[in-house]
């Protein structure tokens, strides 16, 4: 009941908030996970997700580097599930934050260069739709 009232109040106050505003707030929070020892890759990735929709991010990860992947949605950490697969026919799962309480960031230390696909989806137990933001940093 309280949550419903909060939601209605937010709509009344915010009126027609834009996706841009909402994604901006999420991005600002997500940036904090790319800490000062990582160099941002210079790109901003976002997708509007509804229900069980999934966004797919295609990346090349270079050998010898460690990448920090931060994935955020909503007002708190842990709302976005992301999984990293290789691009082989078998599509091997390399990592999923599902195994780590939907951790909002994770480091991938790469031995040898590979192309990967990062799939991101909202945790259905926490959100029905929302703006998904992914940020990437790297270090030598």
Partner 1 sequence: MALLLLASCGGNDQGQTTGADTLAVIDNPKESELIGVGGRFFSVPSPMQAAMAIKEAGLKYQKELAIPLEKGDAATARMSQALMLGAYGADMSYATVHKDAQRALATLESIERLGAKLELSNAFDKALAERFKANKGSEDSLMRFSGMAFRAADQYLKSNDALDVSAWMLAGGWVEGMHLTLADPAAAKNAKLVTRIGEQKGTLDGVLALVDGSNVDGQSNALLMGLKELRSAMEGVKTTYVYEPPVTDAAKKTTYINSKSTAEVSPEQLAAIAAKVAALRNLILS
Torsion of CA 36, 25, 22, 104, to 10 degrees: 50
Spatial distance between the Cα atoms of 60 and 116, rounded to a whole number of angstroms:
6
CB of 137 to partner 1, least distance (A): 7
Closest CA to 75 of 13, 2, 136, 133: 133
Closest CA to 103 of 123, 127, 89: 123
Looking at residue 115, the DSSP 8-state letter turns out to be: E
Q: Which of residues 80-99 bind partner 1 (CB under 8 A)?
A: 86-88, 90, 92, 94-95, 99
**Rounded to the nearest 5°, which phi and psi values hold at 58?**
-105, 125
Spatial distance between the Cα atoms of 133 and 48, rounded to a whole number of angstroms:
9
CB of 75 to partner 1, least distance (A): 6
Counting residues that bind partner 1 (by CB under 8 A) gives 88
CB of 19 to partner 1, least distance (A): 5
Q: Which of residues 104-123 bind partner 1 (CB under 8 A)?
A: 105-115, 122
CB of 135 to partner 1, least distance (A): 7
Give yes or no for residue 1 binding partner 1 (CB under 8 A): no
Q: Which of 70, 71, 81, 135 binds partner 1 (CB under 8 A)?
A: 135
Q: Which of residues 23-82 bind partner 1 (CB under 8 A)?
A: 23-27, 36, 38-50, 53-63, 65-66, 73-76, 78-79
């Amino acid at each position: 009941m309280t949550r419903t009232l909060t939601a209605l109040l937010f709509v009344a106050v915010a009126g027609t908030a834009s996706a841009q505003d909402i994604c901006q707030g999420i991005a600002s929070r997500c940036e904090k996970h790319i800490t000062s020892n990582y160099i941002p890759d210079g790109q901003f990735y976002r997708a509007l997700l509804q229900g069980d929709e999934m966004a797919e991010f295609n990346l090349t990860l270079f050998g010898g580097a460690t990448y920090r992947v931060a994935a955020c949605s909503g007002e708190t950490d842990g709302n976005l599930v992301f999984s990293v697969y290789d691009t082989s026919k078998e599509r091997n799962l390399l990592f999923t934050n599902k195994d780590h309480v939907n951790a909002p960031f994770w480091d991938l230390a790469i031995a040898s260069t590979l192309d990967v696909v990062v799939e991101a989806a909202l945790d259905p137990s926490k959100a029905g739709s929302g703006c998904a933001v992914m940020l990437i940093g790297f270090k030598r």
